Amino acid sequence: MSVELRAKDSGAATRKLIGAGSFAVRVYTLEISSSAAPGPMTLDIALAEAGAVRSALEITSSGPPPATAGGTQPAVATIGRVQPAAAALRRTFIDRLDTHEPIYFIYGPDAPAAKFQFSFKYKLLEFGESAPRRMTRTLQFGFTQRSLWDIDADSSPFYDTSYMPEIIYQALAPEPERNDGWFTWLGWQAAYKHESNGRDGPISRSLNVVYARTGFVLGRLDDWHLIVVPELLAYVGSLGNNPDLDDYRGYGRLQLVLGRTDGLSLAATTWAGKDFNHASVQLDLTL
């Protein structure tokens, strides 16, 4: 179908020269016949001097359109107005940025008094077309920072900080058609992760690992359930500046999350150590 673009203001109709590396914003409106089904639409604009411009739009229903001078209402569908800056942010972050490892801030009486962690992952690529009954396969960049902060001391110095960038291949299972099953497989991840304290010289420490993890749910997805996430890892390269690290971290971990969707959850992450003699547990409560 053909549509007519109308300038939002008088300045949009004037000619403007745009220098290299610059841009200009002009706002136009258009009307689309209500016979067009709601959903995504591609708008092609033919420009005499710059060729064709193509944009993806979303047709939505927004209530009855305004009446015309004759008292009748034209059959139109509307497209929600999106600010250019907001549109750029949506293209960059919507469905791409997500949390990764637990995010927390804790405080205690002993030095260093505070410990906090933040973690996110950003989708770089998606392989294949998304479909309701197909696995979603993506390549993601992850970053986690964990710090020990001597917040009660003079000048409140950071006692230690670990920086953990990683590249993740993720394959998520399709959403089940029903939520009343007692076993649901979630998918799997494989990643290469670097961990460093960001220092050099004799106080430098770093390591590289590859890991693989999977996850499944025991219980109904719409009620209380238990998420089980086993993980196996292998160290890449030397542990020269961390010779005893594998004794404590071992070669894997197990995470158990008890909770319900959009509600209270309690997560327990356990490490057993290389010889199962240096066990440790981390508990995370989400409200």
Tell me the catalytic residues.
194, 196
| Total residues found in the chain within this entry | 287
Tally Cβ neighbours within 10 Å of residue 265: 17
Nearest-angstrom CA–CA distance, 100 and 145: 11
Query: Are 267 and 286 a contacting pair, CB within 8 Å?
Result: yes
Please state, in angstroms and as integers, the Cα–Cα distance from residue 194 to each residue in 31, 235, 237, following that order.
Answer: 52, 10, 11
